[in-house]
Amino acid sequence: MSRRNRKYAVPGAERGMQAFKTEVMKREGYDVDPSRPDDVKYEVAKELGVPLKPGGNGELTTESAGQIGGKIGGSMVREMIRLAQQQMADREGQ
């Protein structure tokens, strides 16, 4: 599975998002190489029983691919929401 050319709304945000992914997935208990955070998808796939391999994965169903991305993206979104709630609570407490 090749990495897509993502377009971030904020120029230069890619490095920060990759570091965020590394931090979140480590907290979720995954072994993440900070220099290759996208490779965590293979560990997630193995846990879910999805036969993801480097290179072509044309035989994967949309559902299987979505399970992998959903686990990673869902964890990141939950952490973003937690951080936003914490910021709002901190502002209210001032």
Output the 3-class SS for 47-90. HHCCCCCCCCCCCCCHHHHHHHHHHHHHHHHHHHHHHHHHHHHH
Q: How confident is the model at residue 1 (pLDDT cuts 50, 70, 90)?
A: very low
- pTM, rounded to two decimals: 0.80
For 19-58, what is each residue's pLDDT tens digit?
999 999 999 999 999 999 999 999 999 999 999 999 889 8
